[in-house]
Amino acid sequence: MTPQSPTKRSKRRNTISVGEFDSKAQVLIAEWEQVAKELELFESKHKKYLEKLENVENLKITHCQEFKKIQTKINNLKKSIDKNKSLIIIPDSSSSPRTAAEKTDLLRIRRETEVNRETPEQRQERIHIIREHLIKEQSSYLKRIEYTLPQAPERYLRIILGSELPVSILNKADQYKYKESYETFKFRVTLILMIISFLMCLIIPANRALDAIFHFLLVWYYCTLTIRESILVVNGSNINAWWRIHHFISTICTCIILIWPSTASYKIFRQQHYIFSLYISFVQVLQYYYQKGLLYRLRALGYSDAMAVTMEGFHSWMLRGLSFLVPFLFVGYLFQLYNAYVLYQLSFTEPNKDWQVMLKVLALIFLVLFLGNFITMWMVIRRKIREKVRDIQWVKHRYETLRSLLTSVL
């Protein structure tokens, strides 16, 4: 068998490679033609999408305007009802004199009452029913649908974002996901802070660089909390105003501690601050676990909104099974008061005059935090005690009424 010459073998290889290239090129061309058809179809769908999106945006604007008009009318009607309700019963001569406008309204109401043959008591009862309907039913309905419409961001968010960028999440599922991500973020960072506080307090020796990293983490955490809570409020979460203010104040406090130089006063307060951070983080983790379960049960029973979040401190709904947390919170608040006292005493031993002032500012911040937390908890407990006393009085009154009825019958 005669061997083939090198020229023939190279020609054969070239012929095979060209054939393979042609087949691959045909496959690529066919794929491109298929993609081009899909792209052309997608382009037409995208145009329809943009048209519908523009229609939806226009519908949002008109719907928001109509909602604001209805809201304004209902608020004005409430004011008118409150004003007219006070004018239905004719006052005694010993009462304070009415103004000319009030006298005119009073005469008008009396004429209308006489024409309709309606007693003042009946008219007052009818207006009371209308007002209750407006407050309890329509106001709650408007409150529910308010968060399904685009909301303007708060001033704080406008400052952070630099514009009135809408932050409303109109989809209920997305709102709940964002709320859950807030809860997860807060729990994870608090857990990390608790572990770091434990290590820095008992294991790792004093190191100013590590302290600065820890305090920078605190600053970042509180700043992020304030932003996320502002977005949650826009989307329907009922977060107590004090706890939002608390996080702003805590941000300022941690910023001051972050830039505190490594002086003798800092070294004295350092250990105490880490013990305080460890205890507060532990209480917050404890609150998260128990509040999470309680909120789930309250939502299932219809006593809580889906956008309710776990928070520091004591809240009215926590009396449904979390009263045991009150002593832990009270100890934490006393710790804040003790921090204020220690910082105030350290301000007199600090040689740097500028930091004498800053330590007094820190002492004032901890004092404000103690007062705000303690007063908020005290108001919640007092309100709940009054509600329980009112319920007991109502039960007692019903019991006495039933007993007198049975006595009269028997």
Tokens of 332: 């934490």
Q: Which amino acid is at 329?
A: L
The pTM of this model reads: 0.71
Give the angle 23-26-27 at the CA atoms, nearest 5°. Answer: 90
Number of Cβ atoms within 10 Å of the Cβ of 98: 13
- Terminal-to-terminal C-alpha distance of the chain: 133
Distance CA 147, CA 141 (A): 11
H or E, element range at 357 = helix 353-409
pLDDT of residue 135: 65
Per-residue pLDDT of the chain (410 residues; tens, 9 = 90+): 455 555 544 445 555 456 666 777 888 888 888 888 889 899 989 999 999 988 988 888 888 888 888 888 877 877 777 776 655 444 444 444 445 554 455 445 555 555 555 566 666 676 777 666 666 666 677 777 777 788 778 888 888 887 777 788 888 888 888 888 888 899 999 999 999 999 998 888 888 999 999 999 999 999 999 999 988 888 877 788 888 999 999 999 999 999 999 888 999 999 999 999 999 999 998 888 877 776 666 666 655 565 666 666 555 545 555 577 788 889 999 999 999 999 999 999 888 888 889 999 999 999 999 999 999 888 877 877 776 666 566 556 566 665 665 666 66
Distance CA 405, CA 370 (A): 52
186 class by beta-carbon count within 10 Å (0-12 exposed, 13-18 middle, 19+ buried)? buried
* 8 Å CB contact between 240 and 311: yes
pLDDT of residue 311: 60
* 8 Å CB contact between 321 and 294: yes
The domain limits of the chain are 21-89+100-146, 167-396
Place of tokens 């609150």: 287
Distance CA 143, CA 245 (A): 23
Measured CA to CA in angstroms, residue 315 lies from 8, 82, 320, 367, 378 at distances of 92, 31, 10, 21, 10
Nearest Cα residue to 365 out of 243, 283, 253:
253
Q: What is the DSSP letter of 135?
A: I
Q: Which amino acid is at 360?
A: K
